Every structure is written in C-alpha cells, then in structure tokens.
C-alpha cells in the first residue's frame, strides 16, 4: 500500500513512553517521519530515537500539560507553524488515575484527557491532515469500555462515584469511540478516515508512578501482558491494515466491534465540539 514510506509523516501524541514510544520506533524503523507531541523527554539511551532526533526525521514538540488549554494551544500552534502536513494522526496520549481529579476547566480529568483533548488536537491539526496523503486518524481506545454499565454526559464530566479502570477511565474511552463514530461522515466529505483502536493489554507500567489500575490487574499486567510493541502493532495495523478503507469503526483484536450506548454518539460529539468552540477557541470561531 505504501510505495515510498519516507514521504509519509505521522504525528504521535504520548510518543516518549509506553505504546507511543514503541509506535514511534516502529514508524522510524520503517522510514517514516514522526512528529511527536510529548510531555516528557525521550529516553537518552535509545540510539534509534536520539539518532532520528538529530537527523530531523523525528521532531519533538513539548507540552507541559495536555489538559491545560494554554499549554496545549502553544504546542499545537508551534506544530502548525513548522510542519507542512500529517498523513496519519495517532491520538495516543493517555493515562489512568487512582482517584477523582478535575482539570483546570472543571471536568473530570480522564474525560478531559481521553475524550476532549483528542478532539481538540484533531480540529487544530485539520489543515495539516487535509494536506496529507493518507488522511487517517487513529484514536487509541480501550476494551475497558465494554464494562460501562451507565452512560450520560453529566456523569462523564462529574462522576458521582469512582472506580479504577472501570469507572471514569472506561466511560471516557467509550465517549472517545462514540464521537469517533459520529464525526466519521463529516470527515469523509474531506477524504479523511477516522477509527478508534484498542491496543490490547500491554505492560506500560512505570516504576514509582501510579498506574491507576487495580492491584490484581497491575499484577496481571506485570507478569502476563504483552510488551508495548504489541499495542504499537495494533495501532499500526488499525491505521494501515485490512480496515484502512473503513471509517468510524472501533477495532478490537483487528476486528470491527460493536459499541454500547451509540444513541449518545452525536450528543458526545456535540459536547466536545461545543467545548472546543467556546472554551478552547474562546467562542471566536465556530467549528464547521
């Protein structure tokens, strides 16, 4: 499908660790250029990464906090000012928390980071995607969404209860896949395809950092889960594999899977669009 990979450019968020780092290494090893939106530095001892940074095939843009709109806006403006196009956008940055926390905008932090921010990044980088050749967006979702038993917009923003993994994290990933489904027809008019992909269970644990996982699942992940390269391969195949012509779908184990609560898909899209228009843009520009 790809005849001259060096001509292709991917943007990966959360590229400096875990699945994002593995995906970045995979793309670079296959001669892609990679634009990285990162919060922490790349590993200093990673020879491939450091070499590609020096050569310019890997270009890193730092953001202090993805959920801080001022910080995010500054980083995205820098990307728009320096880059010419994006062929594939991998909205991959994420994370889990062990307690209920809220963003500066007053929304539950999982929802802000996992649902709202990927939409903002997509909208802000739309022109670069239009200039791209593959015109593909991959949102990293999670099979945890299957465990969501209740779903409303209000509980997304302000949960009444908190559960590790299966609470706000799962509902936020479901909301991400729902707006992915809802926005697909709109993006198709511009030749852009979008899919949400579950990368599987990967050992992305960091020593000394709260994983946001239950203890039993953290132990399972430590001893039995796949390395991050597995998740990277799932995202890569989700972008370029057998489903590359499909849009709006949720891919689980390289198969199209059904989503729950699809009746809320348009409402989720309307909500994140409203947040983008009135909070991130300050109401000065309306989303088309």
Instruction: Give the model confidence (pLDDT) of 33-85 as tens digits.
Output: 999 999 999 999 999 999 999 999 999 999 999 999 999 999 999 999 999 99
Q: Which of helix, strand or coil describes residue 133?
A: coil
Please give the pLDDT value at position 284.
Answer: 39
Supply the DSSP symbol for 257.
Answer: E
Please give the pLDDT value at position 165.
Answer: 73
**For the chain, which domains are there?**
5-280 (3.40.50.720)
**106 φ, ψ (degrees, to nearest 5):** 90, 10
Supply the DSSP symbol for 147.
Answer: G
Residue 210 has pLDDT above 80, yes or no: no
Q: Which of helix, strand or coil describes residue 3?
A: coil
Please give the pLDDT value at position 3.
Answer: 44
**How many CA atoms does the CB half-sphere of 13 hold within 13 Å?**
29
Give the chain's mean pLDDT.
90
Residue 136 has pLDDT above 90, yes or no: yes
Please give the pLDDT value at position 6.
Answer: 59
pTM for the structure as a whole: 0.90
């Amino acid at each position: 499908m790809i005849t001259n990979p060096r001509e292709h450019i991917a943007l990966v968020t959360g590229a400096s660790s875990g699945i994002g780092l593995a995906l970045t290494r995979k793309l670079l090893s296959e001669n892609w250029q990679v634009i990285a939106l990162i919060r922490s530095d790349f590993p200093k001892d990673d020879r491939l990464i450091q070499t590609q940074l020096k050569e310019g095939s890997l270009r890193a843009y730092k953001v202090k906090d993805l959920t801080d709109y001022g910080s995010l806006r500054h980083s995205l403006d820098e990307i728009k000012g320096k880059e010419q196009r994006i062929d594939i956008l991998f909205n991959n940055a994420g994370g889990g928390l062990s307690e209920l926390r809220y963003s500066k905008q007053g929304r539950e932090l999982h929802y802000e980071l996992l649902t709202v921010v990927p939409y903002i990044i997509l909208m802000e980088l739309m022109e670069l995607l239009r200039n791209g050749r593959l015109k593909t967006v991959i949102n990293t979702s999670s099979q945890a969404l299957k465990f969501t038993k209740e779903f409303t917009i209000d509980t997304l923003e302000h949960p009444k209860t908190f559960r590790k993994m299966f609470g706000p994290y799962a509902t936020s990933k479901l909301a991400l896949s729902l707006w992915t489904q809802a926005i697909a027809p709109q993006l198709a008019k511009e030749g852009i395809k979008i899919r949400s992909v579950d990368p599987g269970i990967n050992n992305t644990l960091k020593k000394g950092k709260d994983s946001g996982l239950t203890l039993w699942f953290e132990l399972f992940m430590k001893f039995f889960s796949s390395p991050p390269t597995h998740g990277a391969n799932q995202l890569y195949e989700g972008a370029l594999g057998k489903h590359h012509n499909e849009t709006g779908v949720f891919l689980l184990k390289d198969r199209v899977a059904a989503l729950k609560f699809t009746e809320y898909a348009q409402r989720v899209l309307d909500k994140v669009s409203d947040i983008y228009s009135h909070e991130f843009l300050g109401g000065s520009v309306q989303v088309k």
